[in-house]
Amino acid sequence: MDLAFIPSPPTGVVHLGPIPLRGYAFCIIIGVFVGVWLGNRRWVQRGGRSGTVADIAVWAVPFGLVGGRLYHVITTYEPYFGENGHPLDAFKVWQGGLGIWGAVALGALGAWIGCRRRGIPMPAYADALAPGLAIGQAIGRWGNWFNQELYGKPTDLPWALKIDPDPAIGRIGGTYHPTFLYECLWCLGVAALVIWADKRFRLGHGRVFALYVAAYCVGRAWIEYMRVDEAHHILGLRLNDWTSLVVFVLAVVYMIVSAKKAPGREEIVEPEWQLAEGARDDAAGTAHAEAADGAAEVKLTKDAKNAKEAEDAKLIKDAEVVEGAAEGKPDPAEAAGSQGGAKT
């Protein structure tokens, strides 16, 4: 008897009148927003302009969704194009089925297009976005929980996932490993690792993104091994395990080669914006210096004027004294002194 388990929601959709609100879709949307938000913060910290990450995400996100769905349909084509398949179901993304490898591949293509249009180096953009992608994946995996899909082998562990039976799709009820939760936690760990390594070693030129890919592949390999959903096997391993292995090797090779070719981190990640910002700073500094020089000139002019007036006043006074002496008049200062002595 199971004393504890993680319950599954009775339904993955709630209807607001005629409008269906699907948990799977909400998880994907929230994951995208969190990923873009964190990516924007990291981009600004590297000297880029706020909003650039979101502008490029307008290209990357649709491409990523299409790529994720294509990968799933191609590698799991039986429900759509196999015997008794339903081709139109390939468009029902809300029912689940987004392959991360296809999402990253086509999402990268969309990001490349957006970066090219903005004159931004693609590796720098990928580095800024990497931790956000991992956290977005962690959030998106909860969509599988809403759909009661992609769980692992049967288990009676306290954190087992309770799955309801569904004869219509051949699903057997019971408690299973919550692989969605395992991947969620692993992705959060990957995000923390990437952020730490980036600060510690000042990674750049795409190496942050490569580290994210490599670390995710390690976790995906053992999580994939636990899953019991149908999948194609090659030499005894699931197709996604082989994909994880190949992508891991490519990511590590890229990190090594990139570190030799371009060590350190990019100083300029958004050339047009940062150069324009530098020009504005220079202009502001010049204006401030000119204002300071102008103020100094005004002060000098005022001091000179005061000195000139004082000198003129003294000359006038001396002239009056001389003129008075010539006419036999006493010096005003001496007269004042004599009057003071008389009073005493």
DSSP 114-141: HHHHHT--HHHHHHHHHHHHHHHHHHHT
Residue 221 and residue 139 share a domain: yes
269, 284, 303 - which closes a domain:
269
pLDDT for the residue numbered 170: 81
| pLDDT of 220 over the 90 cut | yes
7 domain residue, yes or no: no
269, 300, 327 - which closes a domain:
269
Sequence-separated (6 or more) residues with CB below 8 Å from residue 72: 97, 98, 99, 102
| pLDDT of 312 over the 90 cut | no
Structure-derived torsion over alpha carbons of residues 265, 270, 275, 278, reported in degrees to the nearest 10: -70
Sequence-separated (6 or more) residues with CB below 8 Å from residue 147: 12, 23, 24, 95, 96
For the chain, give the percent of residues with pLDDT over 70: 79
Distance between alpha carbon 250 and the CA centroid of its chain, in Å?
A: 24
Residue 204 and residue 95 share a domain: yes
| Max CA pair span of the chain | 136
Please name which of 110, 74, 36, 94 lies closest in space to residue 231, comparing C-alpha atoms: 74
Residue 296 and residue 240 share a domain: no
Residue 87 and residue 186 share a domain: yes
1 domain residue, yes or no: no
Residue 286 and residue 247 share a domain: no
pLDDT for the residue numbered 8: 94
Residue 265 and residue 279 share a domain: no
Q: Are 180 and 151 in contact (CB under 8 A)?
A: yes
SS3 234: strand
Residue 331 and residue 192 share a domain: no
Give the total number of structural domains in the chain: 2
Residue 250 and residue 338 share a domain: no
Task: With cut-offs at 50, 70 and 90, classify the pLDDT of residue 195.
Answer: very high
| Least-confidence region, from 170-174, 214-218, 321-325 | 321-325
2 domain residue, yes or no: no
| Residue 75, CA distances (Å) to 71, 153, 310 in order | 6, 21, 96
> What's the token pair of residue 294?
């102008």
279 domain residue, yes or no: yes
Q: Which residue has the higher pLDDT, 296 or 40?
A: 40
329 domain residue, yes or no: yes
| pLDDT of 22 over the 60 cut | yes
3 domain residue, yes or no: no
8 domain residue, yes or no: no
Return phi, psi of residue 78, to 5°.
-55, -45
| pLDDT of 323 over the 90 cut | no
Q: Which residue has the higher pLDDT, 286 or 37?
A: 37
> What's the token pair of residue 341?
């002595």
| Domain that residue 152 falls in | 13-269
244, 269, 294 - which closes a domain:
269
Task: With cut-offs at 50, 70 and 90, classify the pLDDT of residue 304.
Answer: low
289 domain residue, yes or no: yes
pLDDT for the residue numbered 343: 43
pLDDT for the residue numbered 280: 53
Q: Are 254 and 203 in contact (CB under 8 A)?
A: no
For 77, other C-beta atoms within 10 Å of its C-beta total: 14
What angle (nearest 5°) sits at the alpha carbon of residue 192, between those of residues 213 and 27? 75
Residue 248 and residue 114 share a domain: yes
How many whole angstroms separate alpha carbon 36 and alpha carbon 39? 5
| pLDDT of 139 over the 80 cut | yes
Residue 64 and residue 118 share a domain: yes
Q: Are 168 and 95 in contact (CB under 8 A)?
A: no
Type of residue numbered 101: W
Residue 143 and residue 230 share a domain: yes
Residue 325 and residue 197 share a domain: no
pLDDT for the residue numbered 21: 87
Q: What is the DSSP letter of 189?
A: H
